[in-house]
Amino acid sequence: MLIDQVFGAERLKQLHAICAEFTPGHERWPRPDWCEPPHNRPRYLFDNKGDEWIELVQFFNSAEFKQPIEQHLGITLEHTTSSIWADLAGFGPLGPHKETGGSYMMQVYLTDKSHDYSGTTIYNEAGQVLLQMPYRDNFAWFFHGMKVMHGRHHDVPKGITRFTLQIWFSN
């Protein structure tokens, strides 16, 4: 399911403020171990700490946020975890894969620089591209992570920090 304008202006402003703190090496944006040398993949994860993050997590589990999705899909959702990551040029493509655990996932793009083909790529079971999503602010896709083959067919374009908010739900 594709969702345009996921967040209202105030919530989006709150998320953009978190992203605005990012610089490589910032203490609140560490690199995961699997991105460190020798892999050298420029991905950084927000530390998920602070009052603003607690408030966001409470919102992700609220009826206000979940109810439209639940009604549309006829399911009940429980927020399990969330993270924001920042990818830079040089990360490279992310091959076709399915998540190894969890249930439903939403990826929301956060940016001030839209790009036609830097969103998530959806693949068929043979690894062929079915759909290439754009990368634009406040745009999301919601899917069952263990069932949908996805990745990123292209590297992050130069001049873009590709912020993605990932929200996981169980049902």
Is residue 132 over pLDDT 80? yes
At 40 the pLDDT is: 86
Tell me the pTM: 0.93
At 81 the pLDDT is: 94
What is the average pLDDT score of the chain? 93
135-151: pLDDT as tens digits = 999 999 999 888 899 99
Q: Any residues with CB less than 8 A from the CB of 117 and at least 6 apart, and which?
A: 132, 134, 135, 153, 154
Tell me the CATH number at 151: 2.60.120.620
Rounded-to-integer distance, Cα 83 and Cα 45, Å:
7
Q: How confident is the model at residue 123 (pLDDT cuts 50, 70, 90)?
A: very high
Task: Give the rounded percent of residues in the chain with a pLDDT score beyond 70.
Answer: 100
At 102 the pLDDT is: 74
Is residue 39 over pLDDT 90? no
Q: Looking at the 3D structure of the chain, how many domains does it have?
A: 1
Q: What is the mean pLDDT of residues 72-95?
A: 94
What is the number of other CB atoms lying within 10 angstroms of the CB of residue 36? 11
At 3 the pLDDT is: 94
> Of 153, 80, 139, whose CA–CA distance to 110 is shortest?
139
Q: What is the mean pLDDT of residues 101-112?
A: 91
Rounded-to-integer distance, Cα 131 and Cα 150, Å:
9
Tokens of 2: 């594709």
Q: Which domain holds residue 62?
A: 2-170
Is residue 101 over pLDDT 80? no
Rounded-to-integer distance, Cα 68 and Cα 5, Å:
13
